[in-house]
Structure 1
């Protein structure tokens, strides 16, 4: 297999599975998010964490709707951390989410904090991870910029890495690489998948 083959495969996978998600009707999208939220609440009861990083949903990609989830966590007294991306370094800077006034859409229409209290990745107890598709080994396929690969590498070993997906897992993502950091869990409308014993 040539060095370029995995990149081509990844591009095809992203295109196919992102298109499938975008084709969800509004009714199915809302129903699946509601079911995922129920499974997330059950999951959280078994994990005593306070400082949780969450991505903010990209509407045009029909990502898992994290807004109800974030509101629920805040009502439970959890502290939410959100990120701002650097388009030049492909790295994330993390801030405590204290007020919606912090947020402004970047040029890609992704809401991001303009200011706030900085939080180190090593302080996080759980990270909620966006993805396009995942497999039964806990590997995920993201959007290709590598933001979360670098971010997760900076997190403490005890930090729970939790994917959120509207689709069930593939049996295997064939181009997982040695430097890829697998998830500990992935929460879907069907239920919770665990990848570590």
Structure 2
């Protein structure tokens, strides 16, 4: 895939993701949660890194509430300005329900904290994405935050991408040396595991 093709694909997928209706999002979120509940890695995980949806990604509200109900610890990412990596902040159910978040200039919400844990403290990270291919190559929003963060944690935690079905690409996406592949991808209709 050429660079120009990748640019076009990114643009197309961003538009497609933004066009997903609220009802479609609710259905997708529920389907993903039902698969997640049966996934042994999720069942065993105690410390789970999640994201707050902001750009048409798979909604995470029900997943976060389910984690709290199961006594799992929920961690949300903040961008560390010093090294442009993600740090992970544990939040309580009360904090989540009261929406105690700050607005990041990039458009998403973050927990109000200047400190967080390294990604290696987590058992499982549920990651947003723009596209994922048959080898687990993940294309994100372009900031490289997840790639930089996971490059320092090659084996742990388990990396699970969450996506709409149209975000799974049946072709090879270009993978740069710094790109961090997924262990698995979960969509409303698919569960795919990759060799890393």
CA deviations on 1:119-164 (whole Å, 9 max, x unpaired) are 2222111111110111111111111110000111122514200000
Q: Is the 8 A contact 1:124 1:155 kept in 2?
A: no
The DSSP-based 3-state class of the residue aligned with 2:20 is coil
The DSSP-based 3-state class of the residue aligned with 2:39 is helix
Choose from 154, 176, 190 the match for 2:152: 154
Q: Which residue of structure 2 lines up, in the alignment, with residue 56 of structure 1?
A: 52
Q: Which residue of structure 2 lines up, in the alignment, with residue 67 of structure 1?
A: 61
TM-score (norm 1): 0.86
Q: Is the 8 A contact 2:30 2:62 kept in 1?
A: no
Q: Distance in 1 between matches of 2:48 and 2:154?
A: 13
CA drift of 1:28 comes to 2.0
Structure 1 position 192 matched with structure 2 position 191: yes
CA drift of 1:15 comes to 0.3
Q: Which moved more, 1:123-132 or 1:82-91?
A: 82-91
Q: Distance in 2 between matches of 1:112 and 1:24?
A: 23
Q: Is the 8 A contact 2:119 2:157 kept in 1?
A: no
Unaligned runs of 5+ in 1: none
CA deviations on 1:29-68 (whole Å, 9 max, x unpaired) are 221221111111111476511111111111xx21111111
Q: Is the 8 A contact 1:95 1:116 kept in 2?
A: no
Structure 1 position 28 matched with structure 2 position 24: yes
| C-alpha spacing 1:117/1:90, structure 2 compared with 1 (3 Å) | closer
- Superposed, which structure 2 residues align to 1:109-188 within 5 Å? 109-115=107-113, 118-155=116-153, 157-168=155-166, 169-188=168-187
Aligned residue pairs, count: 191
Q: Is the 8 A contact 2:28 2:164 kept in 1?
A: yes
Q: Is the 8 A contact 1:139 1:181 kept in 2?
A: yes
Aligned CA-pair RMSD:
2.3
